[in-house]
Amino acid sequence: MVLIDDAADIRNGEQLPQKKLEAFILDQLKDINGPVRIRQFPRGHSNLTYLVSAGDRQMVLRCPPHGTKAKSAHDMGREYRVLSALKDVYPYCPEPLLYTEDETIIGAPFYLMERINGIIIRETIPQELNLSAGDTRRLFEAVFKVQYELHAIDYKKIGLENFGKPEGYIERQVNGWIHRYESAKTKETPDARQIMDWLLKNMPEHSGRAAIIHNDFKFDNVILDPDNPFKVVGVLDWEMATIGDPLMDFGASLGYWVQPGDPEGLNAFRDVPSNAPGALTREEMVTFYETLSGRKIDHVSFYHTFGVFRLAVIAQQIFYRYFHGQTQDKRFKTWDLRVKNLIRLADQIINKADG
């Protein structure tokens, strides 16, 4: 198994205009010499990600998916801005190189950043890493310590005081994701009214502090050092980053967890190696974050339910694109099943919380 992601041929319908893009890059980046080669990273479910090579220089291009429905979730300018602000204080950010809103080049805004090479772990820990249960626990703690480090940054000191509105953040998020779910429904989409009503009724007060939040922090958005897999060298996919309640970010990460007792069908869609021997359970994740922050987390069921429902909405938005022919990516053909299983899990959490 190759531990470092490589790009592949570009998927049908997601090609970029080679000549226009090459001319733009060579004009904007004076230290780049052509010719430019473009390939596509086959993973990822949201923004499109391409490898742009010129000589021995490797860069990554990010742009919105074709047929984008949720514009706010694909704001290339915001992603570029947060990377530019963080690069000197958060050593895990790829270096941003250029950004443009000129849609005449590839048909959408996009940005370029330097590529960080390393190991990306997804639903299974590669056997080649030969990790014991103790090693796996150490790995989990190393990865999620990096999430807390982001929350601990003073965002005002790096010029992000206007990057988001922390006041009323939880209420806006709940209402926003409910609206997105309703807008992305297809036939046989679960109603989810019980979950939406429960979230509206059980919203906690703000946790007491605002922070930079990634909003999609999970294993396959983290790059590990090939020579030391316990060392994080990169954090990717910043399109949903903002200023808000860090416990909502933590809840979004919990939403990806699949462990014994969850609806059986979820394991087929698992994105993180949460079933590996030594992996932190959700309960241990909460304890670990409390230890790092020095603060107890109240309302865990709310943050977890929100994280699961939010993930169901994202899955439904992606399936909406496939259902309406806006993407030909066959990975999304059965994502309606993912939505249904996530809704079952959210129901299970709130029924236990109200038990």
We report the CATH number of the domain holding residue 46 as: 3.30.200.20
The reported pLDDT for the residue numbered 199 is 98
Average pLDDT score over residue span 7-23: 90
Task: Estimate to the nearest angstrom the gap between the alpha carbon of 32 and the chain centroid.
Answer: 30
282 belongs to a structural domain: yes
Average pLDDT score over residue span 267-289: 95
Last residue in a domain, options 114, 143, 175: 114
* More reliable by pLDDT, 44 or 268: 268
Neighbouring-strand partners of residue 37: 53
CATH at 292: 3.90.1200.10
Residues 91 and 220 both lie in one domain: no
Query: Residues near 266 by Cβ (< 8 Å), separated by ≥ 6?
Result: 258, 338, 341, 342, 345
Quote the tokens at residue 8.
Answer: 């592949």
Task: Estimate to the nearest angstrom the gap between the alpha carbon of 351 and the chain centroid.
Answer: 27
Neighbouring-strand partners of residue 38: 52
Residues 183 and 299 both lie in one domain: yes
62 belongs to a structural domain: yes
Contact 312, 346 (CB under 8 A): yes
List, for residues 197-255, the tens digit of each pLDDT value: 999 999 998 767 899 999 999 999 999 999 999 999 999 999 899 999 999 999 999 99
Residues 175 and 237 both lie in one domain: yes
Average pLDDT score over residue span 306-332: 92
Last residue in a domain, options 85, 114, 143: 114
Average pLDDT score over residue span 266-276: 91
The count of structural domains within the chain is 2
Residues 68 and 201 both lie in one domain: no
The reported pLDDT for the residue numbered 105 is 95
Average pLDDT score over residue span 48-77: 79
Give the span between the Cα atoms of 291 and 295, in whole angstroms: 7
Residues 109 and 131 both lie in one domain: no
Residue 23 has pLDDT above 50, yes or no: yes
208 belongs to a structural domain: yes
What element of type H or E holds 58? strand 57-63
Residues 76 and 178 both lie in one domain: no
The reported pLDDT for the residue numbered 17 is 93
Tell me phi and psi for residue 69, to 5 degrees: -105, -40
The confidence band for 45, taking pLDDT boundaries of 50, 70 and 90, is low
122 belongs to a structural domain: no
The reported pLDDT for the residue numbered 70 is 42
The confidence band for 62, taking pLDDT boundaries of 50, 70 and 90, is very high
Residue bearing tokens 């020095």: 294
Contact 299, 350 (CB under 8 A): no
Quote the tokens at residue 158.
Answer: 């790096």
Residues 177 and 96 both lie in one domain: no
Residues 305 and 276 both lie in one domain: yes
- Peptide bond just before 35 cis, omega within 30 deg: yes
Residues 69 and 163 both lie in one domain: no
Please list the helix, strand and coil fractions of the chain in percent, rounded to the nearest 5, in that order.
45, 15, 45
Query: Residues near 12 by Cβ (< 8 Å), separated by ≥ 6?
Result: 328
The reported pLDDT for the residue numbered 316 is 96
Average pLDDT score over residue span 22-28: 94
The confidence band for 1, taking pLDDT boundaries of 50, 70 and 90, is very low
Residues 150 and 67 both lie in one domain: no
The reported pLDDT for the residue numbered 290 is 97
List, for residues 113-127, the tens digit of each pLDDT value: 999 999 999 999 999
The confidence band for 154, taking pLDDT boundaries of 50, 70 and 90, is very high
Last residue in a domain, options 114, 145, 176: 114
Query: Which of 157, 203, 155 has its CA nearest to residue 306?
Result: 203
The reported pLDDT for the residue numbered 343 is 97
Give the span between the Cα atoms of 193 and 296, in whole angstroms: 30
Residue bearing tokens 């014994």: 260
The reported pLDDT for the residue numbered 330 is 86
Which residue range is the domain that position 86 belongs to? 18-114
Residue 66 has pLDDT above 70, yes or no: no
Residues 93 and 152 both lie in one domain: no
9 belongs to a structural domain: no
The confidence band for 268, taking pLDDT boundaries of 50, 70 and 90, is confident
12 belongs to a structural domain: no
Mean pLDDT of all residues belonging to the chain? 92
Give the span between the Cα atoms of 289 and 145, in whole angstroms: 8
User: pTM (2 decimals)?
Assistant: 0.90
Above pLDDT 70, what percent of the chain? 95
The reported pLDDT for the residue numbered 44 is 60
What element of type H or E holds 341? helix 335-354
283 belongs to a structural domain: yes
Average pLDDT score over residue span 126-134: 95
Report the phi/psi class of residue 278: left, alpha or beta, with left for phi > 0 and alpha for psi in -120 to 50.
left
The reported pLDDT for the residue numbered 126 is 93
List, for residues 157-199, the tens digit of each pLDDT value: 999 999 999 999 999 999 999 999 999 999 989 999 999 999 9
The reported pLDDT for the residue numbered 110 is 95
47 belongs to a structural domain: yes
Quote the tokens at residue 296.
Answer: 């107890």
Residues 258 and 313 both lie in one domain: yes
Residue bearing tokens 């984008």: 68
Average pLDDT score over residue span 129-146: 97
The reported pLDDT for the residue numbered 69 is 43
